[in-house]
Amino acid sequence: MSERLIIFDTTLRDGEQSPGATMNMQEKFRLAQQLAKMRVDIIEAGFPIASVGDFESVKNIADNVRDIQVAGLARANVKDIDRAWEALKNGENPRIHTFLATSDIHLKHKLKMSREQVLELAVASVKHAAGYTSNVEFSAEDATRSDLDFVCKVFAAVIDAGATTLNFPDTTGYAMPDEFGEQIRYLLEHTPNIHKAVLSVHCHNDLGLAVANSLSAVKAGVRQVECTINGIGERAGNTAMEEMVMAIRTRGDSSPVTTNIVTEQIHPTSRMVSTITGMIVQPNKAIVGANAFAHESGIHQDGILKERTTYEIMNPVDVGLSAGNLVLGKHSGRHALKDRLVTLGYEDLNDDEISRVFDRFKTLADMKKDIYDEDIEAIVMDEIIQVPESFKLLSLGAMSGNKTMPATGVRLLVNGEEKEGAGLGVGPIDAAFRTIATLTDTSSKLLYFAVSSITGGTDAQGEVMVRLEDDGKVIVGQGADPDIITAAAKAYLNALNRAAYLKDKKQQM
């Protein structure tokens, strides 16, 4: 039977040390509540002595977030530990997490202390913390670059002093997975009282190996992993909690542990962290990136539609997504397009109609990277559904210049009645759109406007694409003309005609 791995989340402490990722007290509390909802085992809420704001934030979380352990970080000195306890004391089973470097590099250049002095200070600090709570964690900073026999000596001493969790951090992200696993095994074999404490790791991602190192440590016997949401943290970040948890869940056949994490809360939590910190998740980020469950290759899409597990080793529902995303683009096949057409309500199209739509779809996909549902609906309306021209352009004249107020004169056929008008705008296209809206008595909102050249040269025909929002629905319009202002007017009218058609169709249902 698998043992349980303790998930120690340090998003609020180490994660906040990411440049630009500072959170205010309200944001930290909101995120702490979400982490509790995920059922992480321990939240490291902050570094209480760092500032008044950090103290108040840790205290607020410890006082008010229930059914979870809340930890506060403290350097190995009385002042830090006292301040941490003052913030934590009203929490449920609060943890004081104290740390001291053990590598010769840190001893010589940062601490300017001998090994004997470090050992003495570590023991004294843990004893002081244990006077407040039996839940004390000790971290040997820069452990992976330390002499392992010295780390074993320190660990054995702090266990006797009252530490119940020992953390072996790869502070600089220096370790390799195989050697990290060997270091863990060495600690377990050469620390005589190690069975009295939980062994933990805290890995940084400087070489992109934080998750791999953490997994290697777990296989070697570690039973707590310190991590952050989205892998944020100092420099290149920390072990990404979502990757760690889903690796254990997905590869349960090779993992000796399980976690208590409610994985369906992974994606919502990731989005919350991204929103609060302003640190956007890269699209190709594992588990929570926008492309993590997206498929554009026609071969992949065909496989996914037949059987999800052909190209997905995880179910997107398990991480809080409703489903995978078939991104329609130039690599997509007929099967994926047909599936999307059915989703959009065009399940009655015959093979010839689907072929016509597919040909237009491929042509459009060569011109733009991603195809939206509105683009597909526009193709269907052009190729299959003959949309009545409620509004038709008869003529257009425009005036513009760097010292002239842009103006247009427009003549339209509106439901069979000829109308004309003129208007001003920021530019001639804006003026044309404003005039058309007045003549057609419409109030759509322009969401997107793009111009492209169909052929080369200054005499090239210009193609305009617009995306409008009308009555809560997004509609695409397209128009082409050697005169770009006329092309824009045609695209705008094309979208308005589609909007009018959809309204009439809705009223008839």
**Identity of residue 244:** M
In this model, does residue 457 exceed pLDDT 70? no
Among 26, 23, 2, smallest CA distance to 13 is for 23
Report the distance separating Cα 236 and Cα 14, nearest Å.
12
Higher pLDDT among residues 214 and 480, named by residue: 214
**CATH code of 487's domain:** 3.30.160.270
> Quick check: 410 and 419 in contact, CB under 8 A?
no
Look at residues 360, 383, 406 and tell me which one is the last residue of a structural domain: 383
Report the distance separating Cα 389 and Cα 380, nearest Å.
16
Three-state secondary structure call for residue 408: strand
Same domain, 20 and 98: yes
Same domain, 17 and 94: yes
Q: Classify the C-alpha dihedral 373-294-236-249 as positive or negative.
A: positive
In this model, does residue 334 exceed pLDDT 80? no
289 inside domain: no
Same domain, 334 and 481: no
Higher pLDDT among residues 15 and 129, named by residue: 129
> Quick check: 368 and 332 in contact, CB under 8 A?
no
363 inside domain: yes
Predicted TM-score of the model (pTM): 0.66
Q: State the pLDDT at residue 368.
A: 63
Same domain, 377 and 397: no
Look at residues 348, 383, 418 and tell me which one is the last residue of a structural domain: 383
Strand boundaries in 134-222, DSSP class E: 136-141, 165-170, 198-203
In this model, does residue 373 exceed pLDDT 90? no
366 inside domain: yes
Higher pLDDT among residues 393 and 26, named by residue: 393
Report the distance separating Cα 501 and Cα 475, nearest Å.
11
Higher pLDDT among residues 71 and 292, named by residue: 71
In this model, does residue 203 exceed pLDDT 60? yes
Same domain, 440 and 341: no
For residues 446-473, give the mean pLDDT. 75
Number of domains, the chain: 3
**CATH code of 191's domain:** 3.20.20.70
287 inside domain: no
* DSSP secondary structure letter of residue 108: I
Same domain, 93 and 216: yes
- Backbone phi and psi for residue 421, each to the nearest 5 degrees, phi listed first: -165, 175
Q: State the pLDDT at residue 459.
A: 55
Higher pLDDT among residues 24 and 399, named by residue: 399
Report the distance separating Cα 237 and Cα 389, nearest Å.
57
Same domain, 334 and 456: no
Same domain, 41 and 170: yes
401 inside domain: yes
284 inside domain: no
Domain of 416, in residue numbers: 391-508
Same domain, 316 and 242: no
Per-residue pLDDT reduced to its tens digit, 389-440: 899 999 999 998 888 899 999 999 999 999 999 999 999 999 999 999 999 9
Q: How confident is the model at residue 382 (pLDDT cuts 50, 70, 90)?
A: low
Mean pLDDT over the full length of the chain: 87
Token pair 């420099």: residue: 235
354 inside domain: yes
Same domain, 182 and 94: yes
Same domain, 28 and 119: yes
Q: State the pLDDT at residue 164.
A: 98
Look at residues 242, 277, 312 and tell me which one is the last residue of a structural domain: 277
- How far separated are the first and last CA of the chain, in Å rounded? 59
Report the distance separating Cα 468 and Cα 495, nearest Å.
7
Report the distance separating Cα 18 and Cα 26, nearest Å.
19
Per-residue pLDDT reduced to its tens digit, 288-332: 886 766 544 555 556 645 666 675 667 777 788 655 555 566 667
189 inside domain: yes
Same domain, 342 and 471: no
What percent of the chain lies above the pLDDT cut of 70?
85
